[in-house]
Structure 1
Amino acid sequence: MKVVSVVGARPQFVKLAAVSAAFAGTGHTHRIVHTGQHYDAELSDVFFADLHIPAPDVHLGIGSGGHGAQTGAMLAALDDVFTDPGLCDGRPDWILVYGDTNSTLAAALSAAKLHLPLAHLEAGLRSHNRAMPEEHNRVLTDHAADLLLAPTPLAFRNLAGEGLAARARMVGDVMTDVLLRVRDAVAGLPLALPDPPGDELRDGGYLLATVHRAENTDDPERLRAVLDALAELPLPVLLLAHPRLRAKAAAAGVEPARGAVRLVRPLPYPDTVRAVLGSRGVVTDSGGLQKEAFLLRRPCTTLRTETEWPETLEGGWNVLCPDPGALAEAVRRHPPAAAPGHPYGTGLASEQVVEALAAG
């Protein structure tokens, strides 16, 4: 079996780490195409190194741009990549796409147009917010795919509700595989931060935060309200500043590093896991970090009106907080008394992905 994985953004690299490890030693051919959607070394190269992912076989170097321009550039480049017989010594058996980014949609469209079998990992997630570009990418990719690899029973039910059950398989969540492995490796290690100030941060004495989605950053007034709310929180806030946030804040004339906020560059994935473990809780608009907080047993407050991971809401482990004015009250809530269950599996999803691809 010959499989080509297409990735381009941080969450996809984490998923790729699990899938790549599962392919190792199987005898199957697995090739990696990196679109370059996340081109910053702190959001790309470091993940390949820290998670021991093989170097990409192809790096498109697309970089940033508007949704249409970025997706179109990827689509044009991927058409040439997928038809190159040298990529995997002939026609691929599967194009495997991950998640909900522009890289996902571009690869899905290219595979569909070229009549190449398409598999979607993390299929069936729905926020039911059609204003989100990620929601369009998910839905369009699912309806184009030949094999839908669902991470949860709810995701499978979503696919069935859209008439896609015959193409769907329940495999579990591959990010859980990586997270559990990294959690065990970093437990007990000191918190390492790339930027001062960090000495004042102690385990259990800070909140970890990320902000990057368009709904929180594109409108200057909304961005100001979010950053004001973080600055006024009663605990130090370790804000991992995605390049998008830094650029949007600068354009809006807003300074993120004030009040409670301690601004640092994005961390390597193992250090991010360690930072979550050391925190009192998480504030984010990231889908992946919501789930990571849930799996690491840290309360999460999500700066959105909805979540693709509704399982995290059970028992109050995750709380939606679309109003920045309500953020302080949300983060002061008592931690849940009951431990969360295991809706995302126990760490064996990546092997099931390979088995599902091999079975067709």
Structure 2
Amino acid sequence: MSRPYRIICVVAARPNLVKMAPLLRAFAPPETQVETILVHSGQHYDVEMDGQFFDTLQLQAPAFQLAVGSASHAVQTAEVMRRFEPVLEQTLPTAVLVVGDVNSTLACALTAAKCNIPVLHVEAGLRSYDRAMPEEINRVLTDQLAELLFTSEVSGTSNLLREGVPAHRIHFVGNVMIDTLLAQLPFAPSPTDVLRQANLAGFIPDGSSYALLTLHRPSNVDEPQRLRALITAMVKLSDDLPVLFPLHPRTRDMLRRHGLVGLLDAPRLACLPPQSYLNMLGLMKNASMVLTDSGGVQEETTALRIPCLTLRDNTERPVTVSEGSNAIAGRDPSVILALCRDILRYGGKAGSIPQYWDGHAAHRVAQATTNWLQTRRERC
């Protein structure tokens, strides 16, 4: 007998895959009576940074690859909508599930809503209150379109209630990204193994400490003076502590475009190629500190209880600061370096693990969704 419910699950970028993997597994058991169809928008896709995640997370290839590629925010959003609508017409889903806050999240949510198909949003309610961030626009609008909203921290629920979302549509389930982290952590390699793969064996002797740096947000890497200041600060930090710097393709391209590649020529700053998910976990779990502008890394370091400095003026994930191991460092190099030296001197902030970051968030999503589907069907 065919399953009565069909949910299209949308991914667009690497963090989406990390969040989607446990959700697909949670919906898989026959008793959920849900068929999932994976759609990849192709918003971010290359073998180095995306394709390998399918192997690591044991995900089947997407049923649909929209292959939209890079473009301006408006063009990319419109192109995802144009290519996603025929998928809805062909598959006739019961609902569309989106995760996170990329352009494809909003585009697919808006397309589904215009086709009268319910939208389920995982990682709803996060707010930086910085409308200059394209992700903030995507979050706010997707949440207004969604029928079910699954929050990863208490602030998300509070934000949605304040914005007028009815309480019965909001479910505090925890963080699905941490589901994947806890499942994969035992398989993460040692930093020594990661460096050996990158032909940097011996850069960090066994047992020594290091800092891990990630930079990719346009607000940090597209403006040459800001990028120069941040890299210069990291070179200064490397005098006190070796720095490992996996280079995001966008950051690499901007360093070249602005003629800043020479700044990386420092003996204790090691640039690495884009890393697999497991390699990044291995680097994070053994770091003395992590410096980042990534929301996902803020969450992962909190789950690992590794001191983290966020190189931004705000965060949409405040629980990583109020309870976790994260602190907002801003972009002033002198402040960043002072905070780094405090961590070296005093050991840094370990924090605690937020509620429901326990490896079972995806099961809560599946249970709440199944209950909603059954209730909805009975009413029809």
In 1, the alpha carbon distance for the partners of 2:369 and 2:260 equals 47
Aligned to 1:76: 82
- Confirm whether residue 329 of structure 1 aligns to residue 333 of structure 2: no
Q: Look up the SS of the partner of 1:38 in the other structure.
A: coil
Output the TM-score relative to the length of structure 2: 0.89
In 1, the alpha carbon distance for the partners of 2:112 and 2:272 equals 38
Deviates more, 1:309-318 or 1:183-192: 183-192
Aligned to 2:93: 92
1:177-196 correspondence runs (5 A)? 177-186=179-188, 191-193=193-195, 194-196=197-199
Tell me if the contact between 1:241 and 1:266 (Cα under 8 Å) persists in the aligned partners: yes
Question: One-letter code of the match for 1:349?
Answer: A
In 2, the alpha carbon distance for the partners of 1:39 and 1:337 equals 35
* Alignment length (residue pairs): 355
- Confirm whether residue 6 of structure 1 aligns to residue 10 of structure 2: yes
The 1:105–1:47 alpha-carbon spacing in structure 2 relative to 1, beyond 3 Å, is same
Tell me if the contact between 2:95 and 2:117 (Cα under 8 Å) persists in the aligned partners: yes
| Offset of residue 342 of structure 1 | 2.9
The 1:243–1:54 alpha-carbon spacing in structure 2 relative to 1, beyond 3 Å, is same
Tell me if the contact between 1:191 and 1:275 (Cα under 8 Å) persists in the aligned partners: no
| Offset of residue 261 of structure 1 | 2.2
Q: Look up the SS of the partner of 1:68 in the other structure.
A: helix
Tell me if the contact between 1:127 and 1:308 (Cα under 8 Å) persists in the aligned partners: yes
Aligned to 1:212: 216
In 2, the alpha carbon distance for the partners of 1:96 and 1:141 equals 11
Tell me if the contact between 1:191 and 1:274 (Cα under 8 Å) persists in the aligned partners: no
1:13-32 correspondence runs (5 A)? 13-26=17-30, 27-32=33-38
Aligned to 2:102: 101
Higher-Rg member (1/2): 2
In 2, the alpha carbon distance for the partners of 1:313 and 1:101 equals 23
- Confirm whether residue 302 of structure 1 aligns to residue 324 of structure 2: no
Aligned to 1:133: 134
Where structure 1 has 5 or more consecutive residues not aligned to the other structure, the ranges are 86-90
Question: One-letter code of the match for 1:144?
Answer: L
| Offset of residue 191 of structure 1 | 3.3
Question: One-letter code of the match for 2:340?
Answer: V
The 1:264–1:4 alpha-carbon spacing in structure 2 relative to 1, beyond 3 Å, is same
Q: Look up the SS of the partner of 1:231 in the other structure.
A: helix
Tell me if the contact between 2:68 and 2:79 (Cα under 8 Å) persists in the aligned partners: yes
- Confirm whether residue 285 of structure 1 aligns to residue 293 of structure 2: yes
The 1:24–1:222 alpha-carbon spacing in structure 2 relative to 1, beyond 3 Å, is same
Aligned to 1:41: 47
RMSD of aligned Cα (Å)? 1.7
Deviates more, 1:307-316 or 1:219-228: 307-316
The 1:157–1:53 alpha-carbon spacing in structure 2 relative to 1, beyond 3 Å, is same
Aligned to 2:203: 200
Deviates more, 1:332-341 or 1:302-311: 332-341
Tell me if the contact between 2:23 and 2:365 (Cα under 8 Å) persists in the aligned partners: yes
| Offset of residue 188 of structure 1 | 6.3
Question: One-letter code of the match for 2:295?
Answer: G
Give the alignment partner of residue 266 of structure 1, picking from 274, 295, 298: 274
Q: Give the share of equivalent positions with the same residue, in percent.
A: 39
| Offset of residue 38 of structure 1 | 1.4
Deviates more, 1:307-316 or 1:169-178: 307-316
